[in-house]
Amino acid sequence: MTPEEQLEARAAALDLNVPVEYRSEIIRNLALIGQYEALVKAVDLPERLEPAFEYHP
């Protein structure tokens, strides 16, 4: 499935009308999000780690 077809399928699933002039930027953003997804999935977190319930900067 091409990126354009993926965008069409996602838009149809959400009942969205995506104007033609924004499609290339949306496809580029989805590719960037896919790269972030790959980075997150590459981190090996053992099951024994406790989740952090609070954030302290």
What pLDDT is recorded for position 47? 83
Do residues 29 and 10 lie in contact, with contact meaning Cβ atoms separated by under 8 Å? no
What was the pLDDT predicted at 34?
A: 92
Q: What is the pLDDT of residue 54?
A: 85
> Which sequence spans correspond to the domains of the chain?
3-42
Chain CA centroid to CA 55, Å: 24
Residue range 12-51, pLDDT digits in tens: 999 999 999 999 999 999 999 999 999 999 998 888 888 8
d(CA 3, CA 24): 10
Integer Cα distance of 15 and 26 in angstroms: 16
pLDDT of residue 48: 86
- Dihedral sign, Cα of residue 33, residue 38, residue 42, residue 47: positive
